[in-house]
A and B are shown apart, each in its own frame.
Chain A
């Protein structure tokens, strides 16, 4: 769904970093920042909470571990015990390598899938760019367009003060 945004583009990340706290102090809702690379300082300035994706890693890893142990135990002890060189049916030590591999496999795949789901990335999705060049060398600061004309005017002023190259109001489906 199209929403109206105020988009300010910068050619330098430093300028954008100066604008972010000023915009927030004005009580404007900072929607997002679009940049060609992750800017470390933004996590704090935008008050982004630490992602909970590593919990997915933990639970998927434990699932992988349980699957591997259950599979090997079921096959070698319950379903078809087979004497190989007199080793015990439940040779738990010998089950460790496969258990480790499946833990890593489940954890890795689940984390990446959860990331795609959470960030709504999927094959063939049409990209919606806040400004042309954000994947190259442009930094874009995006706020929801304030309905109050005074707030709107103040936001544009801040952007201009911080050295925005271009300030535009756009209908975007971000």
Chain B
């Protein structure tokens, strides 16, 4: 067990290492990151206000392309969230202990990413204050009408809200013992009171722990099919329509693989940044990066396979419109987006066949950013390229983003990073009790 004599890290040292960044004043690096992130958040608030005041006509949408940045951003952010649940739930079920020092921040990332995602359908409505219309309730102002339960867009409402609530509960439940640890360390009366309220009087009783572990397992078991269902349902927004480029049965697994791919890219990027700014090299190690790079390689290859199979089906299926769509995807006006997507999603992860690349922080950082660029463009290609040239040439058109489109996209990153930076500042970003249970095995001693 963890004992100084064994040359292992002591339990108290684990508490200290993880709690200290929250108790001390944040360093310069944190303030710089936070400053930049809040500027982008301000941009988001400004642009969103302008959008709501003027209507969604200020976006570059038109009659041909009625969905563009808004839905691209929505699918992108929902996808980011998936890695968090994968790490926290699926790796828990498979008893992958290495997840212990990264699961908390990955779960937090899930919640913040889903919040960012939810902004886009809300803004796309034009009148966000009427958003409650999408929930089924009766009676209502529209007479006895109900929402259309056969529509994937309504399924989305249920899927996203369930996902957000269950992720939030899972995240909070996992944090209760650590909040109790912080409560018992806190010196200030305000801090102590806040932690006391949220730690629910936790006192480390083993009878409670025994139940707690079962409940965590049950939630992980529920979250696992849930996360697969969420992106499957998102993909059905497209797959159940008749549009070439959308109307395909491969979409659910293809979207789920893409979501995990982009999510791991984001987790990797965030962990590299927090590891450097919060001095957590001891807890977030080369081993984590190696495992995540392997997952990127696997999911990136699945995504590459899906791209290839779409093209093969377009040729083999013999449907004229389908064939045209894929020729247009690779040679049309948006072909550069398509090639950018291929480079970032299919070629970039192939560097991780090399052990040296999986161990190099600069390569990992650059690759993780490219993964996210690539996955954003994947959604853009699927959505905009499919819409801009449909069956009738008379309904063809082009989409060009406006400053508001770009501003809201950039601003959503501000929202995400502001929330994440506040999280690492105020809450335990590494699950202390889970590290302690592993007897600090994952933690190499100094």
Contacts and interface: CB of A to CB of B under 8 A. Distances in A.
14 contacts: A34-B205, A37-B437, A38-B212, A38-B437, A46-B206, A51-B214, A75-B146, A80-B144, A98-B155, A119-B211, A125-B201, A129-B204, A135-B181, A136-B181
Nearest to B13: A137
Contacts of A162: none
A38 B209 contact: yes
Interface string B161-183: 11001100110010011001101
B170 to A, nearest CB: 8
A53 B134 CA distance: 33
B215 A111 contact: yes
B210 A98 contact: no
Contacts of A98: 149, 154-155, 158
Interface in A113-159: 115-116, 118-130, 132-137
A1 interface: no
A101 to B, nearest CB: 4
Nearest to A112: B169
Contacts of A160: none
B138 A79 contact: yes
A13 B165 CA distance: 36
A116 B198 CA distance: 12
Nearest to B217: A54
Interface residues of B, number: 68
A101 B162 contact: yes
B1 interface: yes
A136 B205 contact: no
B169 A108 contact: yes
Contact of B159 (A42, A97, A135): A97
A36 B433 contact: yes
B218 interface: yes
A42 B206 contact: yes
Closest CB pairs A-B (n = 9): A125-B201, A137-B11, A121-B200, A38-B209, A37-B437, A75-B146, A97-B155, A33-B206, A94-B150
Interface size range of chain A in the complex: 35 or more
Given A72-B149, A137-B10, A129 B197 contact: no
Interface of A: 12-14, 32-39, 42-43, 46, 48, 50-51, 53-54, 57, 71-72, 75-76, 79-80, 82, 84, 87, 91, 94-95, 97-98, 100-102, 104-105, 107-109, 111-112, 115-116, 118-130, 132-137, 174
B206 A38 contact: yes
Contact of B162 (A53, A105, A132): A105
B204 A43 contact: no
B49 interface: no
A59 B394 CA distance: 55
Contacts of A119: 205, 207-208, 211-212
B215 A36 contact: no
Given A46-B207, A48-B210, A51-B214, 6 more contacts: A42-B206, A104-B226, A107-B218, A108-B219, A112-B169, A127-B180
Given A36-B436, A124-B196, A128-B203, A51 B184 contact: no
B150 A53 contact: no
Interface in B411-446: 432-434, 436-437
A105 B163 CA distance: 8
B146 A135 contact: no
A132 B146 CA distance: 57
A35 B181 CA distance: 11
A102 B158 contact: yes
B203 A34 contact: yes
